[in-house]
Structure 1
Amino acid sequence: MQKIILPTLIVILSGLAFSACNKTDNQAATTKEESPVVAKQEEKNGGSFTGNVKDLMGFNKNQKCTWTALDQGEGVVYVAGDKSRSEFEMAAMEDQLAQQMFSISDEEWVYSWNPVTKQGMKAKIDEMDQGEPGEMEGYNPEDINESDNDYQEMSNQDYEFKCENWRVDQKMFVPPTDVEFTDMNAMVEQMKQGTQNLKQVCNMLTGEDKDECLAGFEE
């Protein structure tokens, strides 16, 4: 399962990262202090630069940037104000074929989908931010933890971006109508409800048996 959900989680969480960066940038816009990210951009004259996706969002410019990473794939990111669109070509991994994953995000929603299977996921960012860390871990901790570690490594890793200005096309930030999107917020809620239902079994026990049963959900 982990090999199947990893590419999807990477793209979804990348969209969340872009949105989070946008919120941070908007809050920081009131200060006049020059950030290291802006300085880095000026040194590169807005062209190629080495950095991560968070650096890219810190530029606050309408840009189209491409990148290639050995053994991970290649992608293109379109940035326009508080909106972003990512198109990733995932490299083949072991018995998993190469595949494409697209993602768009703004300050409210993030959509990610596979253009071939026409299946995707959507998430309301504020509701995801309000979730407690590890909410989904009780459902399948090994898959989620390992996938999250891969995402963190990918989002913090430096890449060689090649950027240029682009004429913004708002249609690029509209979710496709021929894709079936699963609501990730509802899915998390269902997982939480499922865990609560399982805990009811513990309440049928007494003494140490009950304590051990409840402790199993906290591990």
Structure 2
Amino acid sequence: MTLPPPADSSPPVVELRDAAKSYPGGVHALRGVNLTVAEGELLAVVGPSGSGKSTMLNVMGTLDKPTTGTVKVAGYDVSALSDSRLSALRARHIGFVFQQFHLAAGRDAVDNVADGLLYAGVPLRERRARAREALAKVGLDHRGSHTPNELSGGEKQRVAIARALVGEPRLLLADEPTGALDTASGAIVMELLHELNASGTTICVITHDNGIADSLPRRVRFKDGEIVSDSYSVSPVEGAGR
């Protein structure tokens, strides 16, 4: 499934306008959120459990649609897309990294990364070639033939990052990417995310860890489904990673 070009030739990577998400029983996970993420940014969406940041991840990643308001990804209004076009948008523009690595146990690192292109219509040989390139980007080209049980926790997360990057998405959403790692491995993963951002990837880290959030150029803090602060360590232009 292909997508027609968006109306805006240079849209933000993500744009939310008055986005709200409610669930039965009067649960309001998001309350009128306004947020714009520009090309090349590195930001944290930070808040305690129940603050709405996980719902924010799902809405930004088009895994869920807002109850009211507008969400645009790469210029496309999510609510206006059919399921097939929404899947195409997600496959082309968004990469996901989760706290649990979700790697297939019986497949080596190359095949796990290549699986990130399964729904992009890429032939097997090209998928594997691109997977090797993605593994090289995360410093694991020498571990391509190893299965997950032969990798450390930090290496598994780097394989998961390579899988998210293999389709060259505009946006990488990392949900608690260091949550299952020891301190040293977590530091390596965060350093890698900084390097990937410096090379041009837009990255949003969803976290409850204020230390991680404070290490990033932009911090969007959530409480009770609302943004309570949106601050920069440097100007948005300087922090854009380009």
Same-fold status (TM-score > 0.5): no
TM-score normalised by the chain length of structure 2: 0.24
TM-score (norm. length: structure 1): 0.26
Higher relative contact order (CA 8 A, sep 6+): 2
Larger Rg: 1
